[in-house]
Structure 1
Amino acid sequence: MSTKTALLSETASTRAPGNQSKRSSLAGFIGSALEYYDMYIYASASALVFARVFFPDAGATGLLYSLGLYGVAYIARPLGGFLAGHLGDRFGRRNIMILTLLVMGIATFLIGCLPSYDSVGILAPTMLIILRLCQGLSVGGELSGASSLTLEHAPANRRALYTSWAINGIWVGYILATLAFIGVAALPEEQLVAWGWRVPFWLSAVILIVGLVIRRTVRDTEAFTTEKELGTTAKVPLGDVLRNQPFDVIRVIFAAFLVVISTTVPVYGLTYATNVVGIDASTMLWVVIVGYVVALVTQPLMASLSDKIGRKPVLIGGNLFGAAAVWLFFWAVAEANIPMIFAGVLLCVSIGFAATNSVYPSYFSELFSTRYRVTGMAVGLQLGLVLTGFSPVIIQAISAANGNAWWPAAVFTSVACVISAIAIASGRETYKTPLDRLGVTR
């Protein structure tokens, strides 16, 4: 038995209470709920009211500016991933999870306090950009830290299932955000623009407090503690991962294109349906909620399936299924066919994307060694997600140049899903690899 293996065994038996795997899953769940509640209330606000609040003089291009600001956070996400990875791989996963939660919660609450353009002029969108960048920094490190912590605590044969609860937290955040906006969207137009949109941002403080309480109960993992006690933690994690596993970082960048569907369907779909087709906003918000609620059931099932048959079949199958399903969804939106819109969301979000979304956190984490796991996943994932953040504004520009056509959204999403499937197919299978052998490429 190697010194590292012996120390890992001793650490596991003396330091980690049996419920740490469940606590880390719960911490990931609550933290992701806050992070993505915050992200999605911004997305909903940008689609529904921000053009009038922050860009009232921009006319028809106000919506384009508003959607562009949605993508601003994605510029900061790679930097957030780098910072979170560096701190998480050097000083522990738990601390970075607490930090990301605080930054996101405070930035979101402050967005709800911002004055309008009519009150302070250009200062209003400027402050919005700054707070949006803070949100991006936070979310850039959230999932990689939570996934690494949960993966390293989880039972060997259920790593994807345990890790998937952070993803289920994302859906809960989306559901809560959508419900919040359904409530405020029912307000008279004047009240919605004046103060109603602020309420969902202020409510994020409740989730923040709950998340901080739970995350303080979680300990760092045995795998990380072992590296720390042996003195083998990476001094410069980014340099180590680029030197030892550069192709896995590149693989994650392109595999991360799978997330594009989660932006084009609920975010751009909402924008297109309400602003071009004229479907009532509350109807589309309920469509999204139904898709997310069903995904809460299908995602753990997909994760469990990947624990049994492997990560790659589920990820590749989900990508290809989603690439086909988006055509039904966007056609249905263009035709204002509400039953088919519901069907399209269930196929795109609750089946296709649920398959990829529930498995990629474990797969991306498993590609990398413990020494730089958070960095490898965070940097690769966040660089890949830059395309995701700007997909609504890219599609909006292409669609506007083609008579507000719906097909650019379907083409863009399908291509992204196929690229992701190819990147995943090029990688190795990891679901049976022991924790201390993950990241070993030879």
Structure 2
Amino acid sequence: MASPASTRQPSTKSLFAASFVGTSIEWYDYYIFGTAAALAFGSLFFPQASPTAGTLAAFATFAVGFVARPLGAAIIGHFGDRIGRKSMLILTLLLTGGATFLIGVLPTYAAIGIGAPLLLVLLRVVQGFGVGGEWGGAILIATEHASPRRRAVYGSFAQFGVPIGVLTSNLAFLAVSGLSDEEFLSYGWRIPFLLSVLLVVLGLVVRRRLQDAPEFEQIKQQNTVIKVPFGELARKQPRNLIMASLASIAAPAVGYTVIVYMLTYGTTVVGFERTTLLTLILASTVVWIATILGSAALSDRYGSKRMYVIGAVTAVLWPVPMFALVNTGDWGAALVAFMVAAIVQGLMAGAQGGLFAEIFDVRYRYSGISISYQLGGMIGGALTPIVATALFDAYQSSTAIALYVAALCLITLVSLFGIRRITEPEHAESGEESPAPTAG
């Protein structure tokens, strides 16, 4: 049995703060890089390339972080399953926050030549490595303290960090958007990166107060911790690992199309002002947050898998009309496009934490949900801005981009029907999986 100290239940507010504050900081760091890649990095770190090639190079640097994320998920997940969730969450915060601050003081190509983009890539790798282990730990620190009937709601705590990260990163860039182009490229883009150090301190204060859940503490006390969690995961639950990875593609595919690619496409192709697009994306995050909350509540009542399927269906249907609305050049139409995209993401985000926490055994759960989430994010998030830029350059039309994003979302929709939920520990012990109930 777990010790009294380990069975002490933290308050809902404490769990919310630890999951939400930490992931908000992590995603603030991540999204300011994406925004800077769209607005500044091409000319600052790759000045010898053509405008299109410079944008592709900046997005490629952005994508490097996604490549590092599965590695971070595997390594941090390994130690999260062996040592504990809390210690890994502190590590991820330090890695991502430290790399972000250093990017803010990084010399540009004009100052040190080829060393500038190389250092940028290195810091992006460190940033991505930290983010790789963040989401899984933040989900588990909340869901493993929750009752089965509240698992999706508790799992949504970490999911709030994604739109809040978008919100705060856009606010940070809006604060410097009044600068001239010369001032913005000289020093304005650095300010959001430097401010991240204040957020990291806040996150550390909140997370140091946490304890791992009794479910995990009991495994440690019974000495049943697995030496190589990923090996056991791959041997006993390969199907869920693959299906969950594919199920993680749609949300970042839609999200990064809006918050990263649209900043380039909307300004250079459609003709929107940079400030206008940032404001519209900012407004859509309110809808995003509300949808996460509603989806999580409905997931606990009707089933997380069912709500995730609904979100995936909308993700398949929305990219074509979304681009059509943006292409009108009207800010009202673009706002509708971004708000519906926020609903699409929120439907899946509200259900994802609860669903993923229920499909992997606790002994390798950190590894399972982290790796699957990051592999899906790499496909849906890293490649989408790059492919979108290349597709528009080839076809001079947004239709090919919209169809590409819809196809990615269709992969997610199909994969959901292959996910099976584990309902009792003995299923994991024997390597068997119980059929997924219709009501999650």
Q: CA separation of 1:23/1:282 partners in 2, compared to 1, >3 Å: closer, same or farther? A: same
Partner of 2:316: 323
Residue-by-residue CA offset, 1:55-112 (whole Å, 9 max, x unaligned): 1111221111111111110110110000111010000000000000000000000000
Q: How does 1:336-415 map onto structure 2 within 5 Å?
A: 336-349=329-342, 351-387=343-379, 388-403=381-396, 405-415=397-407
Partner of 2:234: 242
Q: After superposing the two structures, state which structure 1 stretch, 119-128 or 274-283, moved more.
A: 274-283
Is 1:311 matched up with 2:298?
Answer: no
Give the match's secondary structure for 1:57: coil
Tell me the distance in 2 between the aligned counterparts of 1:412 and 1:291: 23
Partner of 1:156: 148
Partner of 1:267: 260
Residue-by-residue CA offset, 1:192-227 (whole Å, 9 max, x unaligned): 001000000001011100000000000011111110
Residue-by-residue CA offset, 1:349-392 (whole Å, 9 max, x unaligned): 1x211000121122122110000000011112222222121210
Is 1:27 matched up with 2:32?
Answer: no
Q: How does 1:427-442 map onto structure 2 within 5 Å?
A: 427-429=419-421, 433=423, 441-442=433-434
Tell me the distance in 2 between the aligned counterparts of 1:59 and 1:214: 45
Structure 1 residue 141: deviation in Å?
0.6
Structure 1 residue 252: deviation in Å?
1.1
Tell me the distance in 2 between the aligned counterparts of 1:32 and 1:15: 24
Contact 1:75 1:386 in 2 (8 A): yes
Tell me the distance in 1 between the aligned counterparts of 2:13 and 2:226: 27
Is 1:291 matched up with 2:315?
Answer: no
Please tell me the residue identity of whatever aligns with 2:378: V
Please tell me the residue identity of whatever aligns with 2:95: V
Is 1:87 matched up with 2:79?
Answer: yes
Contact 2:250 2:315 in 1 (8 A): no
Tell me the distance in 1 between the aligned counterparts of 2:132 and 2:5: 33
Indicate the RMSD between aligned Cα atoms, in angstroms: 1.6
Is 1:203 matched up with 2:181?
Answer: no
Structure 2 residue runs without a partner (length 5+): 435-440
Percent identity (aligned): 35
Contact 1:152 1:435 in 2 (8 A): no
2:208 to 216, 231, 234: 216
Q: CA separation of 1:148/1:154 partners in 2, compared to 1, >3 Å: closer, same or farther? A: same
Partner of 2:413: 421
Contact 1:144 1:365 in 2 (8 A): no
Give the match's secondary structure for 2:395: coil
Q: After superposing the two structures, state which structure 1 stretch, 314-323 or 196-205, moved more.
A: 314-323
Structure 1 residue 436: deviation in Å?
8.1
Please tell me the residue identity of whatever aligns with 2:155: T
Please tell me the residue identity of whatever aligns with 2:401: A
Is 1:41 matched up with 2:38?
Answer: no
Please tell me the residue identity of whatever aligns with 1:59: S
Residue-by-residue CA offset, 1:259-307 (whole Å, 9 max, x unaligned): 2111112211221101222210111111111111121112111101000
The alignment's TM-score, normalised by the length of structure 1, stands at 0.94
Tell me the distance in 1 between the aligned counterparts of 2:139 and 2:83: 16
User: Number of matched residues?
Assistant: 429
Residue-by-residue CA offset, 1:10-47 (whole Å, 9 max, x unaligned): 54x65333335542231110111111000110011011
Tell me the distance in 2 between the aligned counterparts of 1:62 and 1:306: 43
Q: After superposing the two structures, state which structure 1 stretch, 24-33 or 133-142, moved more.
A: 24-33
1:230 to 197, 208, 222: 222
Give the match's secondary structure for 1:218: coil
Tell me the distance in 1 between the aligned counterparts of 2:32 and 2:259: 12
Is 1:137 matched up with 2:129?
Answer: yes
Please tell me the residue identity of whatever aligns with 2:14: R
Is 1:59 matched up with 2:53?
Answer: no
Is 1:146 matched up with 2:138?
Answer: yes
Structure 1 residue 429: deviation in Å?
4.9
Q: How does 1:109-120 map onto structure 2 within 5 Å?
A: 109-120=101-112
Is 1:183 matched up with 2:175?
Answer: yes
Residue-by-residue CA offset, 1:111-147 (whole Å, 9 max, x unaligned): 0000011010000000000000001100101001111
Tell me the distance in 2 between the aligned counterparts of 1:134 and 1:237: 23
Tell me the distance in 2 between the aligned counterparts of 1:118 and 1:417: 40
Q: CA separation of 1:145/1:440 partners in 2, compared to 1, >3 Å: closer, same or farther? A: farther
Tell me the distance in 2 between the aligned counterparts of 1:437 and 1:177: 43
Q: After superposing the two structures, state which structure 1 stretch, 328-337 or 171-180, moved more.
A: 328-337
Contact 2:288 2:346 in 1 (8 A): yes
Is 1:334 matched up with 2:323?
Answer: no
Contact 1:177 1:200 in 2 (8 A): yes
Residue-by-residue CA offset, 1:324-353 (whole Å, 9 max, x unaligned): 12222211222212211111111111x211
Tell me the distance in 2 between the aligned counterparts of 1:437 and 1:352: 33
